[in-house]
């Protein structure tokens, strides 16, 4: 792991008052300038950071001591961001944001298809990066928050549609009683369709369900997530066909 300077604690951080749990962001990039600049910026926003200069080192650390979210560069030595994501997804649904260059659009689409939650194109603003991080963390914290209130009346009931069972409180999905591991973004997109089976949801509606209102993503992002959902369900049931495409309109879930 690369050492990055840590800003001194503010008076509010040292007065002994109880503080919310500090969320941790892992940065994986072979460019030390980016690691240092982004890490210091995130620390200034209240995040703890861990930084890694290559994918192989990062993979071991991410699995042994998972952060709340990870940010991967694509082009790196030893193990690039795509291979790192592929290896990570075999064992973890950790939220991941890709950093991509404008000439890496095919890699960007592939990353989304492999299970990345979002991507940001270089050069990027710190403000945009922080907004994307917070949007994803809000979504990923929702299952944890609802699970902590399982004895209250506000806990959402599981959604059962044919062979699908989707439990928002536990972030669990099964098909034919077989577990299906989804990222937070995939879970929210599926939930938006499953709560109203047969109703076509436009890409914009699915974006609204899965992303914060101040975050813009294009159509390709939603299409990539849908492809990933179908692939995951077909891994447990090759005949899965419950997600329908209405070309020019959007997607719907039908009781399987």
In this prediction, residue 230 carries a pLDDT of 93
Domain 19-141: give its CATH superfamily.
Answer: Response regulator (3.40.50.2300)
- Where exactly are the structural domains of the chain? 19-141, 156-253
Q: What is the CATH number of domain 156-253?
A: 1.10.10.10
What does the pLDDT average to over 74-103?
86
Tell me how crowded residue 54 is: count the other CB atoms within 10 A of its CB: 18
Quickly tell me which residue has 């039908």 as its tokens.
254
Q: What are phi and psi of 21, to 5 degrees?
A: -60, 130
Predicted confidence (pLDDT) per residue in 119-131, tens digit? 888 778 888 888 8
How far apart, in whole angstroms, are the C-alpha atoms of residue 20 and residue 33?
30
Alpha carbon 84 to its chain's center: 15
Virtual CA dihedral for 136, 145, 233, 159, nearest 10 degrees? -130
What does the pLDDT average to over 144-168?
68
Q: What percent of the chain has pLDDT over 70?
A: 78
What does the pLDDT average to over 46-51?
95
* Structure confidence at residue 9 as a pLDDT band (50, 70, 90): very low
How far apart, in whole angstroms, are the C-alpha atoms of residue 225 and residue 248?
17
Q: Which helix (H) or strand (E) holds 84?
A: helix 81-89
Contact 79, 54 (CB under 8 A): yes
In this prediction, residue 8 carries a pLDDT of 47
DSSP bridge partners of 47: none
Predicted confidence (pLDDT) per residue in 235-255, tens digit? 999 999 999 999 888 999 987
123 preceded by a cis bond (ω within 30 of 0): yes
Alpha-carbon distances, residue 30 vs 64, 78, 143 (angstroms): 21, 10, 33
How far apart, in whole angstroms, are the C-alpha atoms of residue 97 and residue 120?
7
* Structure confidence at residue 2 as a pLDDT band (50, 70, 90): low
Contact 121, 102 (CB under 8 A): yes
Would the pLDDT of 154 be above 90?
Answer: no
Q: For residue 193, give both structure tokens.
A: 């369709």
pTM over 0.85: no
How far apart, in whole angstroms, are the C-alpha atoms of residue 37 and residue 90?
30
């Amino acid at each position: 792991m690369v050492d990055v300077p840590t800003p001194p604690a503010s008076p509010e951080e040292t007065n002994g008052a109880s503080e919310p749990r500090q969320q941790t962001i892992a940065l994986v990039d072979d460019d030390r300038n980016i690691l240092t600049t982004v890490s210091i910026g995130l620390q200034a926003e209240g995040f703890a950071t861990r930084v890694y200069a290559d994918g192989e080192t990062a993979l071991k650390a991410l699995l042994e001591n998972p952060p709340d979210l990870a940010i991967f560069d694509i082009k790196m030595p030893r193990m690039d961001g795509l291979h790192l994501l592929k290896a990570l997804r075999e064992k973890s649904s950790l939220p991941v944001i890709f950093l991509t260059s404008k000439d890496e659009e095919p890699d960007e689409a592939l990353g989304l298809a492999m299970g990345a939650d979002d991507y940001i194109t270089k050069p990027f603003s710190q403000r945009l990066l922080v907004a994307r991080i917070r949007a994803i963390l809000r979504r990923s914290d929702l299952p944890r928050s609802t699970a902590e209130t399982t004895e209250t009346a506000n806990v959402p009931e599981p959604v059962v549609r044919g062979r699908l069972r989707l439990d928002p409180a536990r972030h669990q999905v099964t098909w034919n009683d077989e577990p299906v591991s989804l990222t937070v973004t995939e879970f929210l997109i599926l939930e938006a369709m499953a709560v109203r089976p047969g109703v076509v949801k436009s890409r914009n509606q699915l974006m609204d369900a899965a992303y914060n209102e101040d975050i813009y993503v294009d159509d390709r992002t939603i299409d990539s997530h849908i492809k990933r959902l179908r692939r995951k369900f077909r891994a447990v049931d090759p005949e899965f066909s419950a997600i329908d495409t209405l070309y020019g309109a959007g997607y719907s879930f039908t009781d399987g």
